[in-house]
A = this chain, B = another copy of it.
């Protein structure tokens, strides 16, 4: 099966939005081994869309359309394909009820326009839209299959994962039409190092497939298994996770597409009933804000100080003038003193401190990217570690926060 992704929308041609949908669908197709050799973008124009369909039919046998399923006159994707194929559209009663229900619940008036979002290819299938109104649809005619999907990314993603992919897998392989994915997350290893360490697994495998992705300051690895049922997939996934962790387990911090290092740290602290505070200089509150981004962070995070100016390190945290004069603010001693003072001031089990040179300029004769992270923990010797990041100002600040989270994770997980 050779797929082609056809995005419909004048806003794409004008560059008003970036085509993230095509990348998302491409990733999903690649994960199950469906090849896609072409992507196209065309405006909301009937004749141009038909011309693009004709070209695509010559070179691909699964045409996946996104966009143009809205309620307005501009939105012509389903109607154009139906009339081109000479196939009738029909109203899906469940889809229509779903739209009616939305308008009733929100107290807004439903117009006749909205009804057309509930149509599908009568001789094909309807795909439910859990995050919006427009149904997706599928039809096969002669040797070509046509899939229409909504344009808003949250609607599209959900429909692709819940409806389209299981259906396509059943089509290409009736024995393996169940898919499950697992995303493993790693900190402290680059994408290329991860890929090369896993090369024996990645090169050899067709099921499960492995796809590494570089995030900001971390890497994730998506493992996708297909099988006859969930048990079958889970078995394949479990074995592969084991194999992966043998090679790169030291960098693994958790699983889940929506997970984060901060989230894992929050869960660890909560489960151990521990609290944390922070004293931040170059990170300027970013560490604390990252913790607060997690719902229920009040269970483990109490507060902290942003001691950006030297005077605040002195007057706010009580760091001695002598230490600042003799060691400087970018020093092991200052990082340790900040974390100790912070833990006492905010009365928490752990305190972390960040002091260093964000850049672009050097500071105290130390190059931009130099960062000391200090840790103070009740009943244990405080310590600080030095890092040298090579990013720009905010890259260095973000990297320091991730490094701090990883330090806490390893400490608390012990």
Contacts and interface: CB of A to CB of B under 8 A. Distances in A.
Contacts of A312: 302-303, 346
Specify how many copies of this chain sit in the oligomer. 2
Given A213-B16, A285-B289, A292-B282, A309 B316 contact: no
Contacts of A316: 303, 345-346
Contacts of A297: 284, 308
Interface in A273-288: 278, 280, 282-288
Contacts of A305: 303-306
Contact of A283 (B37, B278, B289, B315): B289
8 contacts: A12-B23, A14-B26, A16-B23, A37-B43, A285-B289, A285-B304, A298-B308, A301-B308
Interface stretch (A51-59, A134-142, A251-259, A373-381): A51-59
A394 interface: yes
A14 B287 CA distance: 34
Nearest to A358: B292
Looking at chain A's contact residues, is the secondary structure mostly helix, strand, loop, or mixed?
Answer: mixed
Lowest 8 CB-CB distances: which A-B pairs, in order? A284-B292, A285-B285, A15-B26, A15-B27, A285-B288, A39-B41, A303-B312, A285-B289
Interface in A139-185: none
B37 A39 contact: no
Contact of A51 (B26, B41, B59): B59
A14 B27 contact: yes
A130 interface: no
Chain A interface bracket (under 10, 10 to 19, 20 to 34, 35 or more): 35 or more
B18 A19 contact: yes
A30 B13 CA distance: 9
Contact of A48 (B28, B37, B360, B361): B37
A38 B36 contact: no
A94 B40 CA distance: 36
A272 B39 CA distance: 53
A22 B25 contact: no
Nearest to A52: B38
